[in-house]
Amino acid sequence: MEQQNTNTPHKRRVRYSGTHPKRFEEKYKEHNPEKYSDIIEKVTSKGSTPAGMHIPIMVDEILDVLRIRPGMNGLDATLGYGGHTSKMLQALKGEGHLTALDIDAEEIVKTEKRLRDAGYDESVLSVIQTNFANIADVSGQKGLFDFLLADLGVSSMQIDNPKRGFTYKVEGPLDLRLDQSRGDSAAERLKQITLKELEGMLIENSDEPYAREISKAVMNEVKKGQMNTTLQLKEAITKALSHLPEKEREEQIKKCCARTFQALRIDVNSEFEVLYRFLEDLPGVMAPGGRVAILTFHSGEDRLVKQAFKQFKKDGIFSEISSDVIRPSKEECLRNPRSRSTKLRYAVRSDIPIC
């Protein structure tokens, strides 16, 4: 009897087409920075973020306000690519412990591997897949924290990957979930809400000045069953702004797309509710004299952090808070344009116990 060939045919990896690949899948060199450091250097030197990577923002400023010392117990509430995490681990110098959280099931595996390969084992680093709203539960396992960091921005790896649906620049499913194993995608969410609810979402989550026009255009496409991809949403926004003068239309479309995607992302991931819970539980997980730094990227987030810090200071729970936001330097903004909207606030826990 003739023997069947059970060998799986070898499939070649997608490689660069030409010298300037545009498709995410073709940028395999940028996805492997340890192996292709020269490529990474060229990309970052031009003020761009390499595909599949994330450049940590305001590292020096964060380390300055957290004042990390060897032997401390810390928490990185939003692990992401691990850039901030690795810098905080370096500050610990092998003494103490850092716990890092992330909800993204896909990226947390890659980041943990990079950190383990860099020599950070379980004795100095714990990686937990959970939402940072669950800091009280984490503290129950790991104790009170001497320093905490929460970077509320979306990682560049998520933005750049078309399959995640975070960008209007390329075709992809209209998803926008940080954890794709849970909840409804943005496309599904749009089928569940009314015109008025969408308009309110755009105003509340991103201060969208053309909320009414965009909501009407989007819901018209939803009714037709044509609101399932990122470019379909962009096209609806483009139609909504067709009445604008040609000179300003293109720039307004870009801004409205960014704001609309932001508003949907916040809603899909319940980001304000998560932040409320995080801030509510924050004082209870901080050791006396403990320090926290929070990076925000739009006015709604910053407003919540500012109000919470002020109230905790008034109640005597925080002994010190930042008098104003700390911004990235001009040099950093040029080097990493995605840092431009960043605001940093910090606070110090007092010695007063919580009743």
Give the pLDDT confidence of 238-285 residue by residue, as tens digits.
Answer: 999 999 999 999 999 999 999 999 999 999 999 999 999 999 999 999
Q: What's the rounded Cα separation, in Å, for the pair 253 and 249? A: 6
Same domain, 196 and 261: yes
The two beta strands, 73-76 and 145-151, are: parallel
Enclosing domain of residue 320: 59-156+272-349
pLDDT of residue 4: 45
Q: What is the pLDDT of residue 123?
A: 97
Same domain, 147 and 294: yes
> Do β-strands 286-296 and 343-349 pair in parallel, antiparallel, or remain unpaired?
antiparallel
Looking at the chain, which runs of residues are DSSP E strands?
A: 73-76, 97-102, 125-129, 145-151, 286-296, 318-321, 343-349
Same domain, 285 and 146: yes
Residues 307 and 222 placed together within one structural domain of the fold: no
What is the structure's pLDDT at 340? 85
39 Cβ neighbours under 8 A, 6+ residues apart: 29, 30, 50
Q: With 60 as the cut, is the pLDDT of residue 9 above it?
A: no
Round to whole Å and give the CA distance between 228 and 92. Answer: 46
| Of 214, 248, 268, the domain-final residue | 268
Residue 333: inside a domain = yes
pLDDT score, position 298: 85
- 37 located within any domain: no
Least confident of 25-29, 66-70, 189-193, 213-217: 25-29
Residues 6+ apart with CB under 8 A from 142: 73, 75, 97, 99, 126
The one-character DSSP state at 241 is: T
Least confident of 3-17, 135-149, 161-175, 332-346: 3-17
CA distances from 202 to 102, 198, 210, 256 (A): 26, 6, 9, 10
Average of per-residue pLDDT across 152-162? 72
Q: Is residue 212 part of a domain?
A: yes
Residues 94, 219: one domain?
no
Phi, psi values for residue 191, rounded to 5°? -80, -15
Tally of domains within the chain: 2
Non-local (6+) Cβ contacts of 131 within 8 A are 101, 103, 274
Q: Residues 195, 201, 207, CA angle at the centre, nearest 5°?
A: 120
Say how far apart CA 159 and CA 262 lie, in whole Å: 11
Listed residues 249, 268, 287: the one ending a domain = 268
Contacts of 56 (CB under 8 A, 6+ apart): 81, 83, 84, 87, 151
Rounded Cα distance, 200 and 63, in Å: 38
| CATH number of the domain within which 316 lies | 3.40.50.150
**CATH code for the domain in which residue 210 is found:** 1.10.150
pLDDT at 82: 92
Strand-pair category, 343-349 with 73-76: unpaired
Tell me the angle at which helices 246-268 and 211-223 cross, rounded to the nearest 10 degrees. Answer: 70
In terms of pLDDT, which residue wins out, 100 or 107? Answer: 100
Is 128 within the bounds of a domain? yes
The more confidently predicted of residues 16 and 297 is 297
User: Which residues is 326 bridged to in the sheet?
Assistant: 344
Residue 335's pLDDT band (cuts 50, 70, 90): confident
pLDDT band, residue 169 (cuts 50/70/90): confident
Could you tell me the end-to-end alpha-carbon distance of the chain, in angstroms, rounded to an integer?
Answer: 80
What is the widest separation between alpha-carbon atoms in the chain? 85
pTM: 0.80
Q: What is the predicted pLDDT for the residue at 181? A: 84
For the cut 60, the answer to whether the pLDDT of residue 26 exceeds it is no
What are the two backbone dihedrals, phi and then psi, of residue 143, each rounded to the nearest 5 degrees?
A: 90, 180
Within a domain: 297: yes
Instruction: Give a yes or no: residue 173 inside a domain.
Output: no
**Local confidence band at 167 (pLDDT 50, 70, 90 cut-offs):** confident
So what's the pLDDT on residue 54? Answer: 56
